[in-house]
């Protein structure tokens, strides 16, 4: 099984990562619902994770660093989602919406 997986070339992992990242990016930039935006960001993070793991196996200096790094990312992502959703809750209570385009306080 692990043999079979290591047969898969690096490009394929990167391609998957790229597609995942692009989907996430698209979602993050276009979706109005903040929850979906958060989900999209998760997708992008996961794309990064795939790249990290793939490079840890097939990169120029294979090692365990990449996998450890992706563990960190997952942890941080979890924390980030928790904080993000908490902010969203607070926002919803205050403004009655989670639409992203309604939130332009940065300009004002």
Partner 1 sequence: MDQMVENAWLIPLFPLAAFVIMVAFGRQLKTTAAYIGILATLASFVLALFTFLERFQEGAETFYQPVHWFSIAGFDVTMGYEVTQLNALMLVIVSLVSMLVHIYSLGYMHGDDRLPVFYQYLALFTFSMLGLVISPNLLQLYIFWELVGVCSFLLVGFYFYKPEARAAAKKAFIVTRIGDVGLFIAIILLFWWTGSFVYNDIFNAVENGVLEPWQITLAAILIFIGAVGKSGQFPLHTWLPDAMEGPTPVSALIHAATMVAAGVYLVAATFDLFAASPTALNVVAYIGGFTAIFAASIGLTQRDIKRVLAYSTVSQLGYMMLALGAAGLIGYAAGIFHLMTHAFFKALLFLAAGSVIHAAHTQNIFEMGGMWKNMKVTGWLFLIGCLAIAGIPPFSGFWSKEEILLSVYHAGRMDLFWIAVLAAFFTAFYMFRLFFVTFTGESNLNHKPEESPVVMTLPMIVLGVLAVVAGFINTPWNPVLGEWLTYGMEGELHVEAPAWISVVTVLFSLAGIGLAWMMYNKKSLSRDWLSGRVPALYQLSYNKYYIDELYDTVFVRPLRGIGIIVNWIDDYVVDGAVRLTGRITDSVAGLGARMQNGQIQTYGLVTVVGLVLLIVGLTVAGGYYK
Binding site for partner 1 (CB under 8 A): 25, 28-30, 37, 100-101, 103-108
d(CA 88, CA 4): 43
CB-nearer residue toward partner 1: 51 or 56: 51
CB-nearer residue toward partner 1: 9 or 32: 32
CB-nearer residue toward partner 1: 3 or 101: 101
d(CA 60, CA 71): 21
Supply the minimum distance, in Å, between the C-beta of residue 106 and partner 1: 4
Rounded to the nearest 10 degrees, how much is the dihedral formed by the CA atoms of 36, 41, 44, 45?
Answer: -130
């Amino acid at each position: 099984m692990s043999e079979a997986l290591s047969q898969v070339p690096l490009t394929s992992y990167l391609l998957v990562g790229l597609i995942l990242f692009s989907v996430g990016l698209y979602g993050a930039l276009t979706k109005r619902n903040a929850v979906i935006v958060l989900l999209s960001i998760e997708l992008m993070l996961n794309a990064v994770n795939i790249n990290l793991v793939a490079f840890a196996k097939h990169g120029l200096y294979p090692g365990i660093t990449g996998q450890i790094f992706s563990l960190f990312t997952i942890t941080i992502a979890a924390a980030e989602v928790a904080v993000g959703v908490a902010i969203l809750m607070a926002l919803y209570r205050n403004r009655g919406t989670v639409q992203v385009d309604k939130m332009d306080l940065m300009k004002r």
